[in-house]
Amino acid sequence: MRDLALYFGSDLTFENVVHELEKVFYMDITIDQTEMGQRCQFYCLDVEFYFENYSDEEDDGNIEYSKFNYCLNFIKLNRGGFSDEYDDMYTSIAKHYTKKIANILNVNCFLIENGQFIFMQVNGQKAS
């Protein structure tokens, strides 16, 4: 099973990034405070989204994790079943939101597969 996670760096506070994500997903997002810090968890189209401050990972090969302070995990719920169509939808959702977040937040986004490979990179460009 492919695990996809979107990593990016931003000078915005966690609360401000969440406010921007609300625009991306067209929904209110609640911030939870845990012992590990702030995080958000929400659902859309049979995919769970888990957003958190990020700073734990060390650079690994071609991925410079030290440049990222935010991570949005895409988690398959498999309510759609175990099918190629569901896998295609999951991948399409991850790619769509990677592009959208890169442009709305004007950040460089890296969609990482299984924590090891850069699946897709998008450089943000705000529309003028």
Total domains, the chain: 1
Kindly report which listed range (24-28, 47-51, 111-115) carries the lowest average pLDDT score.
111-115
Q: Please state the pTM of the whole predicted model.
A: 0.88
Nearest to 109 by CA among 125, 93, 88: 125
In the sheet that holds 47-53, the strands lie side by side as 31-34, 37-44, 47-53, 70-76, 4-8, 108-113, 117-123
pLDDT of 127 strictly over 60:
no
The residue segments making up the domain with residue 79 are: 4-123
Compare 83 and 57 and report the one with higher pLDDT.
83
Give the SS3 label for residue 26: coil
Query: Is residue 24 domain-resident?
Result: yes
Mean pLDDT of 109-114: 91
Neighbours of 107 (CB within 10 A): 22
Instruction: Tell me whether residue 48 is in a domain.
Output: yes
For residue 87, what pLDDT is reported? Answer: 85
Distance CA 112, CA 128 (A): 29
**Per-residue pLDDT for 128 more than 60?**
no
72 pLDDT tier (thresholds 50, 70, 90): very high
CA distance 30 to 97: 19
128 assigned to some structural domain: no
Predicted local distance difference test score (pLDDT) of residue 12: 94
Instruction: Flag the least confident range among 71-75, 86-90, 95-99.
Output: 86-90
In a domain, 88, yes or no: yes
Is 33 among the domain residues?
A: yes
